[in-house]
Structure 1
Amino acid sequence: MTAPAPGSRPLRGGAPAPVVGPLVDEALLRELTPGVLGVLVRRGADFAAAEDAVQDALLDALRAWPADPPRDPRAWLVTAAWRRFLDAARADAARRRREELVDREPEPGPAPDADDTLSLYFLCAHPALSPSSAVALTLRAVGGLTTRQIARAYLVPEATMAQRISRAKRTVSGVRLDRPGDVGTVLRVLYLVFNEGYSGDVDLAAEAIRLTRRLAACVDHPEPAGLLALMLLHHARRAARTAPDGSLVPLADQDRGLWDTAAVAEGIAILHGALARDRLGEYQAQAAVAALHADAPTAEETDWPQIVEWYDELVALTDSPVARLNRAVAVGEADGPRAGLAALAGLDPDLPRYTAVAAWLHERDGDRARAARLYAEAAHRAPTVAERNHLTRQAARLNAGAATGAGGPSPRGL
């Protein structure tokens, strides 16, 4: 198992999930949801009405399938959802065109085998939607999660999430599924899902991996594979990221025996396959950095010069300030803290984690008093309780060392 190096290839050139009967496969319902929704939209149903009809059909399946399982679950759901949609259309006097459609086609034939999942990814990542709405709609329409599950995952009231999803559905209603979408936008939405991690009764990191696998199978482009590799490599370290008391464990201090070696191996294999296509993208570059961390037996054996090279590639691709910030950390490891501080000098101090990086580099350079002040300031700005507590401990450690005349160990990573 070997992590890729920049020189190794040419670089430039919602289903109801919580309560399911014993004979109803929850995973199957979630897999079938986007395809069934796509069939209804392709037949002319607007997105909001189609999504409501599919949810009703899924409830029908939960009630009917334990006693009478269908031979073709997808066809059953398509028929049930279409009938639900037609019933709603008949009841709505404003939809006279739907009434005419009912008269012409009272019982549609078998659904074609075309997979509309990719089109739904594009629809749910429509540029008219805010990132939070795009994520919620993707989890509902493509992921098959219920509104309650999504709300619990995001720690918001169910009514709030229902309103967010309803607004998103209204926004994309009327958008045709036959128009090309932007894969990059879809990837950003899936990455947002992954970064939410886990809360409530839904593991959003695992859900993001599942959805990205499906996208990678639908798209002839290496970047979805790059994102999948990145997710797997980060997810492989999950068990080692926090101590038993819930405190944050920096990468360099993690017990690598807790890392999921199967996920690491799969992620590296997928990454190699993506890089072999010689169409480098930002997620492949990020995955290469993660692979080099995963491939190092110990923190001291990390190949920091290669990581700097990969960050150079990432900066060239995106010119992202966050990538430049992470590059400064890598430069500090590869070439020393003075070089890291020089790389940090041109960046905006208001960047997330800028102050924490500056604190770490100044401590490495021997300026412990300044580092302690910066750690305390970074703790005040920290976005999470775990990160705030970690940075507060770093400041306290340096302050205690100054009081006793002993500096104590340097932090090994951020």
Structure 2
Amino acid sequence: MSTLLRNATIIDATSPYHLQKKDILISNGKIEKIADAIQLKENTNLIELEDLHISCGWFDTSVSLGEPGFEERETIKNGLQVAAKSGFTAIAVNANTNPIIDSKSDVEFLIHKANNSATKLYPIAALTQKSKGIEMAELYDMQLSGAIAFGDYNKPIENDNLMKVALLYAQNFDGLVLSFPKNNAIAGEGIANEGINSTKLGLKGSPALTEHIQIARDLFLLEYTGGKLHIPTISTAKSVELIKDAKKKGLQVTCSVSVHHLTLTDDELHGFDSNFKTNPPLRTKEDIKALQKGVKNGVIDIITSDHNPIDIEHKKVEFSEAKDGVIGLETAFGAINSVLDLENFIENLTIKPKAIFGLENYTIAEGNKADITLFDPKEEIVFTNQQILSTSKNSPFISKKLKGKVYGVFANNQLILK
């Protein structure tokens, strides 16, 4: 069956139809025709939605799903449905499962479980065995099996030489190495951004310095070894400056920022709500301004939900005892769209992350594969617990006003609407 998208505004800077309102006919998973008006024929599914906008399919580069081992938090099947209904046609899945994704068979398990889903799953395999930071995992074998990058999720590589060797070794097969920006020795037992709020609330502080020292070390190593380095979920103004300077030197370094670090500050901690306990911790208004500017000027390459479902037993406890992590797929677009202009960030969900992680981006043009996200950028909503699609409910955006509504995706020859 064919699908006709009626009166869709196209947001795709690589398309000849950018910013134009068109009808789009999709047949057999490909864009057959784009025109001002297309006549509806038999056996065609008509999609007419309020203020419909479409873009290339969104790609989230940091998603945790739980399975295998933590299915009570999220299963692969439901997680992929959540991603599709949240506008993502592809997600990169972190290795923080049980067992850790650190072998060829583990990577193949994830890919097999996601077969035939509308949203494509791409594994990020562990950089070290069991993510313990001691011995490097079999990176090349895992890349051959489908891993698109290597990193120990939310765990820094403390061994300088191990990081150096990883950057050198990965160059043999053009591998992408991830390094989480945290120095554990400086961070200690800190659970909140070190500053006025942590002092007022009596919470152990984790200074921004923990992030700066680790990033500086990694950039020195990258300058020495060459290769490709991606720094996930930076959270401070100084981090933006460090990466900006490294890019000016010509180093192959990229970075991402999470939606919650772009939009929420440590002022949220005054209620001791563990849904605001994140890693890195939420920072200051000054940091948020610098991060938003970093997106606009191209220093920050990727925006990610950093979706990390945590079950109620590990969240509904004292703030100091709760696990880090928030869910973010459902709220990603509405939160970003509340603080940045659509054309300022859409490439950070599409073209840029796909280029960095080696995925193909399908421009919205006749003859191309239909890999499309459908949304309304203007509708304002107040996000509620009832709108959570994930199995776990640890969202920091409950009762927050969001701008924009995601309708769903057309991907892998499937239309998934919320």
TM-score, normalization: structure 1? 0.28
When you count helix as a share of all residues, which structure comes out higher? Answer: 1
When you count strand as a share of all residues, which structure comes out higher? Answer: 2
Q: Which has the larger radius of gyration?
A: 1
> Relative contact order (C-alpha < 8 Å, sep 6+): which is higher?
2
